Amino acid sequence: MLNRLGSLVDGIVRISIWTNVYGLARTMVAIGTLSTLLASDTSALFRPAAGIPDFPFCGGLASASLFCVVEVDLAHPIAIVILLLAASGWRPRYTALPHWWVTVSFQASATIPDGGDQAATVITLLLLPIALTDGRAWHWQRPRAITDVVGSLIAWSALLMIRIQVAGIYLQASMAKLGREEWADGTALYYWLSDPLFGMPGWAAPILGPVLANSLGVTMLTWGSVAIEFALVLGLVARRPVRPYLLAAGLALHLSIAVLMGLGSFALVMIGCLLLYLRPLDLPIAVQVKQTFVLLAGRSPIGVRPVQEVLQQEPSPRRTPTHSGKAAEVP
């Protein structure tokens, strides 16, 4: 049994985790925090509140926060520059630690951080072993051949922890809802979407208003969102053919939250989490951003083969032979 386990691990660590999939997820998480800092003045982010007379909050470990070490008005643009570098994908090995510092600083020192800020803090921490072992100049580049098996093992182990963490987020979110009467009886979204602060925008009222006014409609919307969260928990053990459907459901859930409730930064962070959770990292996204316009013109960029040709001539990166002769499939 130990030999089989060793062969499985050996097969996995010889597959590169450093693809543009993890790069895109990292960019989404960075843009989530960046959008909050760009759209909000420091006076709105750091202000006194009940029980927090001093701002930004610098008590305990928060004393090491960027917004406490440096004056807030100076820390704000510094944080924006760091997040721009992280989002761009430049030198993940060098930008990963500053990226985490900015997210944990904002979560610790801001007056009212939301769930997306908390998730970004945890995910950027768990991404450190992957990013710090990524020697590429840009996290959009093609993965390199594995030369450091130990580094690859550390990175894949970090991904496993990320997947467990994301599954835990959705498990807690779904279970907590069932403890509230409004969610249990199927009326919660009526109150949320009708709220003057977090409610749906005016253009959506003619569309969703009749649905919310109908008992069956509002129950399906409310229980449907809880069902999606429960289904996303199962993504931790779901086989690969099932994961694209779960990913699509999760993306639809968070995009609807962004559009109807205005929680854009939260949606961006959670979409990044879903990519790490459900999108196989060892299967690079075929079309690179810089080649999009060339491909739309009907021509292949120099040195880049058509995707169909690659798929026909190259073996799938999902499986790789192990020392035992058997193929290992990345979880």
- Hey, what are 255's tokens? 């995009």
Task: Please tell me the distance from the alpha carbon of residue 26 to that of residue 7, in angstroms, as a whole number.
Answer: 30
Average pLDDT over residues 248-256: 97
Q: Are strands 327-329 and 319-321 parallel, antiparallel or unpaired?
A: antiparallel
Asked whether 104 and 68 are in contact (CB, 8 A), the reply is no
Phi, psi of 190 (to 5 degrees): -60, -45
Burial of 37 (0-12, 13-18, 19+ CB in 10 A): buried
3 state SS of 196: coil
Confidence of residue 329 (pLDDT cuts 50, 70, 90): low
- What are 10-49's pLDDT values in tens digits? 788 889 999 999 999 999 999 999 999 999 888 889 888 7
> In the prediction, which pLDDT does 269 show?
97
- What are 48-99's pLDDT values in tens digits? 877 766 788 898 889 999 999 999 999 999 999 999 999 999 999 999 999 9
3 state SS of 35: helix
Asked whether 243 and 177 are in contact (CB, 8 A), the reply is no
- Hey, what are 310's tokens? 């690659």
Please tell me whether the peptide bond between 284 and the residue prior to it is cis, using omega within 30 degrees of 0.
Answer: no
Instruction: Tell me which of 39-48, 117-126, 294-303 is least confident.
Output: 294-303
CA-nearest of 34, 232, 227 to 124 is: 34
- Hey, what are 315's tokens? 């073996």
> In the prediction, which pLDDT does 231 show?
97
Does the pLDDT at position 290 exceed 60?
A: no
> In the prediction, which pLDDT does 172 show?
95
How many C-beta atoms surround the C-beta of residue 195 within 10 A?
11
Give the start-to-end residue ranges of the domains of the chain. 2-288
Phi, psi of 327 (to 5 degrees): -90, 140
Confidence of residue 296 (pLDDT cuts 50, 70, 90): very low
Give the DSSP letter of residue 314. Answer: S
> In the prediction, which pLDDT does 47 show?
85
3 state SS of 162: helix
Does the pLDDT at position 278 exceed 50?
A: yes
Average pLDDT over residues 225-236: 97
Q: Distance of CA 43 to CAs 28, 47, 240, Å? A: 25, 6, 46
Asked whether 205 and 190 are in contact (CB, 8 A), the reply is no
